[in-house]
Amino acid sequence: MYEIGHFIGGKHVAGTSGRSAEIFNPATGEVQGTVALANESELRAAVENAKAAQPAWAATNPQRRARVMMKFVELLNRDMDKLAEALSKEHGKTFPDAKGDVQRGLEVAEFCMAAPQMMKGEFSEGAGPGIDIYSIRQPLGVVAGITPFNFPAMIPMWKFCPAIAAGNAFILKPSERDPSVPMMLAELMLEAGAPAGILNVVNGDKGAVDAILDDPDIQAIGFVGSTAIAQYIYGRGCSNGKRVQCFGGAKNHMIIMPDADMDKAVDALIGAGYGAAGERCMAVSVAVPVGEETAERLIEKLVPKVEALKIGPWTGGDDVDFGPLVTREAQKRVLGLVDRGVEEGAKLVVDGRKFKMQGYEDGFFVGACLFDHVTKDMDIYKTEIFGPVLSVARAADYEAAIDLPMSHEYGNGVAIFTRDGDAARDFASRINIGMVGINVPIPVPLAYYTFGGWKASGFGDLNQHGSDAFRFYTRTKTVTSRWPSGIKDGAEFSIPTMK
């Protein structure tokens, strides 16, 4: 058993609220530790430390801040296995998948080495008689991130790396379900040269979230999680005058055209649908074959591969395809949705509800499930299941196929598999989804492009990582200057123009 507190002012501090939550081993169902749940005063202590550290950090030139990111990347590579092991123990995902979690966060830290370039403003000499105009980007001050359990390394780094590189101080409120890795990341940032107080980690539940939303010194908040909570955070944060970006749920479709390479399409569905036990906001959860012949070929090839998936704990080796869900509640929810799909009339062609892992009977495992003949009025189609469940929704033609993702409330990611360039181009142009894959099942952009969904998948004007991240964590100041040689005598009462 271990205990996790908070990381405030460059130090590990014990919780003082008297409240804590249990940390489970998802493979065994056993409690392996506890994490403190912060109250408002503990959050306030983190904010005060951040406020004290931020002005000097903002005054540090961007190149030196970039060097801290460079060192941070070096330390992430050094401790990659250590971070992945801690992540797997608390989340349950396989060791290779955990390393991928760390790697995708590391890539954003690499991009943040470009802080000197991203912080550049604009300059216009002689914009008027003796007048120069220039713009500068300045950090907001103290900002915060509220991040989910499914990527406890990647998403915190998506938030705090650009914020800190831009000159802000950061308050991170990670998921209380797998808190170890965020604490380790804070230690590494300190080792990399970030001053104490620039990255603080406050563990907690809704109480800590509300304290962040209401704190007058926190200028901006980034969130990733469910749509219902995203709407709550966006509304309350904006009403308190904060800059807020929130990313919510998803129901990602993959369209399989009749001319698609079926073997490649099936392999893509297996990895994108069942990887990380489906606990990804970019997981493909709906396969849309176009035409009955395409659907029959898809099911014929898909069923044996789903049945052959190997499920086990992260210690099971590299041949384990996916592990348990994160909590007992998540397991019950997914199994309940599968039951609901059967009740609604979908055909459950692969049933993983009774899967039990020998020696891990109390773990939070759910076997791979595959539905066919799913329709858009069913709960399993409308709801983000967040488990190892793939639904096949057959479409008569291309127009019927693209109508499914276009009419769904979520708009996070979508993919099409085809050999037809015209179809792919039309699809990419017309689809009302934020991230599009063409023969790519999980279209997560690289770190120098931005990540974000449309419709009920995203709230706010700017996306995560890439150039949008630096825009979100900075504000633009525009300076108009004129020196005495260009100033005419006498007062001017009309609005300045370039006439």
Show pLDDT as tens, one digit a residue, over the chain (499 residues): 999 999 999 999 999 999 999 999 999 999 999 999 999 999 999 999 999 999 999 999 999 999 999 999 999 999 999 999 999 999 999 999 999 999 999 999 999 999 999 999 999 999 888 899 999 999 999 999 999 999 999 999 999 999 999 999 999 999 999 999 999 999 999 999 999 999 999 999 999 999 999 999 999 999 999 999 999 999 999 999 999 999 999 999 999 999 999 999 999 999 999 999 999 999 999 999 999 999 999 999 999 999 999 999 999 888 999 999 999 999 999 999 999 999 999 999 999 999 999 999 999 999 999 999 999 999 999 999 999 999 999 999 999 999 999 999 999 999 999 999 999 999 999 999 999 999 999 999 999 999 999 999 999 989 999 999 999 999 999 999 988 765 677 777 777 676 6
Q: Are 279 and 326 in contact (CB under 8 A)?
A: yes
| Residue 416: DSSP 8-state | E
Q: Would residue 443 count as lying in a domain?
A: no
Q: What confidence score (pLDDT) does residue 146 get?
A: 98
In a shared domain, residues 186 and 209: yes
Q: Would residue 451 count as lying in a domain?
A: no
Q: What confidence score (pLDDT) does residue 248 get?
A: 97
| Integer CA distances (angstroms), 48 to 171, 173, 377, in order | 11, 16, 50
Q: In angstroms, how far is CA 95 from the centroid of its own chain? A: 19
In a shared domain, residues 320 and 351: yes
In a shared domain, residues 428 and 463: no
Q: Would residue 496 count as lying in a domain?
A: no
Query: Could you tell me the two tokens for 479?
Result: 């300076």
In a shared domain, residues 241 and 267: no
In a shared domain, residues 109 and 243: yes
In a shared domain, residues 234 and 304: no
Q: What confidence score (pLDDT) does residue 128 get?
A: 84
Q: Which of 112, 161, 246, 281 is catalytic?
A: 281
Lookup result for tokens 């055209």: 257
Q: Which amino acid is at 186?
A: A
In a shared domain, residues 274 and 189: no
Closest CA to 457 of 417, 398, 405: 405
Q: Would residue 494 count as lying in a domain?
A: no
Q: Are 270 and 305 in contact (CB under 8 A)?
A: yes
Q: Which amino acid is at 397?
A: D
Cα distance between residue 273 and residue 434, in whole Å:
19
In a shared domain, residues 153 and 221: yes
Q: What confidence score (pLDDT) does residue 499 get?
A: 64
In a shared domain, residues 475 and 431: no
281 is an active site residue: yes
For residue 34, give the CATH number of its domain: 3.40.605.10
Query: Could you tell me the two tokens for 102?
Result: 């760390």
Q: Would residue 239 count as lying in a domain?
A: yes
Q: Would residue 142 count as lying in a domain?
A: yes
In a shared domain, residues 122 and 171: yes
For residue 419, give the CATH number of its domain: 3.40.309.10
Total count of domains within the chain: 2
Tell whether the torsion through CA atoms of 377, 381, 384 and 387 is positive or negative: positive
* Residue numbers of the domain that contains 47: 2-248+457-479
In a shared domain, residues 243 and 350: no
In a shared domain, residues 170 and 258: no
DSSP letters, 268-330, are: HHHHHHHGGGG--TT-EEEEEEBSHHHHHHHHHHHHHHHHT--B--GGG-TT--B---SSHHH
Main-chain phi, psi angles of 125, to 5 degrees = -85, 140
Q: Would residue 60 count as lying in a domain?
A: yes
Q: Would residue 53 count as lying in a domain?
A: yes
